Structure 1
Amino acid sequence: MPGKRITDQQIRLYMANRKDKTQTTSAAKAGFSERSARRIESGQRQLGPAKPRSYRTREDPLEPIWDSVVVPLLEQSPTITPVGIFDHLCEEHAEDFLPNYRRTLERRIRQWRFLYGEDQDVIFRQQKEFGRQGIMDFTWADFTVTIQGETLEHRLFNYRLPASGWGHAEVVYGGESFTAVATGLQGAFEQSGGVPTELRTDSLSAAYKNNTSEREFTESFQQLATHYGFQPTRNNTGIAHENGAIESSNNHLKNQIRQALAIRGSHDFETKEEYEHFVAKLVERRNCRIKPLLIDEQRQLQPLPAFDSVNYSVHLLKVSTTSTIQLKRVTYSVPSRLIGSTVRVHLYDKTLEVYCHGEHTLTLERVYAASNRRGHQIDYKHVISSLMKKPRAFRGCQWREQLLPSDDYQAIWKYVDANLTMDEASFYMVRLLNVACKSEREDAVGRFVLDGIRVGRLPTLFDCEDRFLKDEGWMNNPKVEQHPLASYQQILEGAK
Structure 2
Amino acid sequence: MSGTRITDQQVSLYMSKRKQHTQEIAAAKAGISVRSARRIERDSQLPSQKPRRYWRSRPDPFVEVWDTEVVPMLASEPRLQAITILRKLQDDHPDQYPDSMRRTLERRISKWRAVSGPAKEVFFPQEHAPGIRALSDFTDMQALGITISGVPFPHRLYHFVFAFSRWEYAQVVEGGESFEALSSGLQNALWQAGGCPREHRTDSLSAAFKNLKEQEDFTTRYEALLDHYGMTGTRNNRGLGHENGSVESSHRYLKEAVDQALMLRGHRDFEDRAAYEALLREVVMRRNRRHAAAFRLEREQLTDLPPRRTTDFAEEEARVTRCSTFTVRGILYSAPSRLIGHRLKVRVYGDRLDCYLSGAMVFSTPRGSHAAHSTRRAIDYRHFIEGLKRKPQAFKGLAFRDDLFPREAYRRTWEQLDARLSQRDACKTMVGLLELAAMDGIEAVLAVRLEAMLGDGDLPDLEALREEFSPRQADHPVIHVQMPATSCYDALLGQGVAA
Contact 2:179 2:218 in 1 (8 A): no
Deviation of 1:172 (Å): 1.3
User: Is structure 2 residue 490 aligned with structure 1 residue 468?
Assistant: no
Q: Is the 8 A contact 2:429 2:462 kept in 1?
A: no
Q: Specify the code of the residue in structure 1 equivalent to 2:375.
A: R
Query: Is the 1:65–1:96 contact (alpha carbons within 8 Å) kept by the matching residues of 2?
Result: no
Partner of 2:463: 459
Which residue in the other structure is 2:497 paired with?
none
Q: How does 1:378-389 map to 2 (within 5 A)?
A: 378-380=380-382, 382=383
1:401 and 1:456, CA in 2 relative to 1: closer, same or farther beyond 3 A? closer
Q: For residues 390 and 298 of structure 1, do their structure 2 counterparts lie closer, same or farther at Cα, with a shift above 3 Å needed?
A: same
CA deviation vs aligned residue, 1:150-193 (integer Å, no higher than 9, x gap): 22211121111121111111221111111111111112112222
Which whole-Å deviations, capped at 9, do the CAs of 1:331-388 have from their partners, x for residues lacking one? Answer: 33333332322221111121211111111222222232553734141343x4555556
User: Counterparts of 1:129-208 in structure 2 under 5 Å?
Assistant: 129-141=129-141, 142-208=143-209
Contact 2:176 2:371 in 1 (8 A): no
| CA deviation map 1:185-225 (0-9, x unaligned) | 11211222221111111111111112299x99622111111
Post-superposition offset of 1:290: 0.8
What is the root-mean-square deviation of aligned Cα atoms in Å?
4.4
Distance 1:304 1:327 in 2: 33
CA contact (8 A) 2:176 2:369 kept: no
Return the alpha-carbon distance in structure 1 between the equivalents of residues 424 and 281 of structure 2.
Answer: 50
Taking a change above 3 Å as real, the CA distance of residues 6 and 362 of structure 1, as seen in their structure-2 partners, is: closer
8 A Cα contact 1:428 1:461, kept in partner: no
Q: What residue is the counterpart of 1:484 in the other structure?
A: none
Shift of 1:97: 3.4
Structure 2: distance between partners of 1:145 and 1:305: 37
The residue correspondences of 1:31-180 to structure 2 (distance < 5 A) are: 35-36=38-39, 39-40=42-43, 43=44, 45=45, 48-53=48-53, 55-94=55-94, 96-141=96-141, 142-180=143-181
Query: How far did 1:248 drift?
Result: 1.4
Q: Aligned partners of 2:95 and 2:397: how far apart in 1? A: 78
Q: State the SS of the aligned residue for 2:346.
A: strand
CA contact (8 A) 1:135 1:200 kept: yes
Match of 2:368?
367
The answer as to 2:318 corresponding to 1:354 is: no
CA contact (8 A) 1:323 1:339 kept: yes
| CA distance in structure 2 between the partners assigned to 1:384 and 1:353 by the alignment | 22
Return closer, same or farther for 1:306/1:379 CA change in 2, 3 Å cut-off. Answer: farther
Answer yes or no: is the 8 Å Cα contact 2:416–2:459 preserved in 1.
Answer: no
Q: Please list every run of 5 or more consecutive structure 1 residues that lacks an aligned counterpart in the other structure.
A: 482-496
Matches within 5 A, 1:155-304: 155-211=156-212, 218-304=219-305
1:79 Cα deviation (Å)? 3.1
Cα offset, 1:426, TM superposition: 6.4
Structure-1 separation of matches of 2:444 and 2:225: 46
Q: 1:126 and 1:424 mapped to 2: Cα distance?
A: 70
SS at match of 1:468: coil
Bigger Rg, structure 1 or 2: 1
Which deviations, in whole Å up to 9, do the C-alpha atoms of 1:39-98 show, x marking residues without a partner? 24xx5x357431234654332323222233323333343333323322222221346534
Distance 1:89 1:409 in 2: 62
Q: Is the CA contact (8 Å cut-off) linking 2:133 and 2:200 kept in structure 1? A: yes
SS at match of 1:67: helix
Paired residue total: 471
User: What letter matches 1:114 in structure 2?
Assistant: A
Matches within 5 A, 1:305-344: 305-344=306-345
CA distance in 2, matches of 1:61, 1:207: 56
Distance 1:443 1:17 in 2: 79
Matches within 5 A, 1:13-32: none
5+ residue gaps in structure 2? Answer: 483-499
Q: Which amino acid aligns with 1:248?
A: S
Q: Which residue of 1 aligns with 2:487?
A: none
Q: Secondary structure at the match of 2:463?
A: coil
Partner Cα separation in structure 2 for residue 58 and residue 153 of structure 1: 59
Asked if structure 2 preserves the Cα contact closer than 8 Å seen for 1:135 and 1:201, the reply is yes
Letter in 2 for 1:163: F
**Kept in 2: contact 1:367–1:377 (CA 8 A):** no
| 1:377 corresponds to | 379
| Distance (Å, rounded) in 1 between the aligned partners of 2:435 and 2:22 | 105
**Structure-2 separation of matches of 1:103 and 1:330:** 56
Percent identical among aligned pairs is 37
Distance 1:88 1:434, change over 3 A: closer
The farther-off stretch of 89-98 and 118-127 is: 89-98
The Cα of 1:311 is off from its aligned counterpart by: 1.0
Equivalent residue of 1:200, what SS?
strand
How far does residue 320 in structure 1 lie from its aligned partner after superposition? 2.1
Give the superposition deviation at 1:321: 2.5
Letter in 2 for 1:39: R
Which stretch of structure 1 is more off in the superposition, 273-282 or 68-77?
A: 68-77
